[in-house]
Amino acid sequence: MQQAKKGDTVKIHYHGKLTDGNTFDSSAGREPLEFEIGSGMVIPGFDDGVTGMVIGEKKTIHIPAEEAYGPKQEENIVEFPKAQFPPEMEPEIGMQLNMSNGQGQDFQVVIVEVKDDVVVLDANHPLAGKDLIFDLELVEIAGGSPLIIMP
């Protein structure tokens, strides 16, 4: 049977959980995730977990934070002056906001603390610093670009 390898485009159903069992994402009720193995479209540990699977195979993989979204980086937690928030907005812990870096790049932040004059924002990926568990089912291997082309 054909095994999924780097360069192959695959379709996979998945159920992503944290180590406490809480689901953070799933393809249930949707089309399977399609990506090219080794292209950087998914986190490294996911690529590695799918490599070697055959169509119809199901397995569970554990991805340490370093092979997922990396560790939480303290430099991505910043204090932002409360006076710079829109006057009608009341900042609350857990609130998600979109910010701009002033150079056309937008990114998501989460309010982690509200002080008298500043709001503490966390710009780390929500899954940074977390080990992940995925239940996988490989449903299709579309193959990659052929290495030898017939004339």
Q: What is the pTM of this model?
A: 0.78
DSSP 8-state secondary structure symbol assigned to residue 42: S
CATH 3.40.50.300 corresponds to the domain 75-122: no
Residue 15 three-state SS: strand
The DSSP H or E segment spanning 105 is none
pLDDT tens digits, 37-65: 999 999 999 999 999 999 999 999 999 99
Q: How confident is the prediction for the chain on average, in pLDDT?
A: 91
Task: Provide the residue ranges of all domains of the chain, joining segments of one domain with +.
Answer: 9-70+127-143, 75-122
E strands, 1-151, where?
9-18, 23-26, 33-36, 58-63, 77-81, 96-100, 106-114, 118-122, 132-143
Class of domain 9-70+127-143: alpha beta
Which residue in this structure is represented by tokens 């939480």?
Answer: 72
Judged against a pLDDT cut of 60, whether residue 14 lies above it is answered with yes
Q: What does the alpha-carbon distance between residue 103 and residue 77 come to, in Å, rounded to a whole number? A: 20
Q: Which of 38, 20, 41, 17 is nearest to 28 (CA)?
A: 17
The CA-atom distances, in angstroms, between 106 and each of 97, 99, 110 are 10, 6, 14
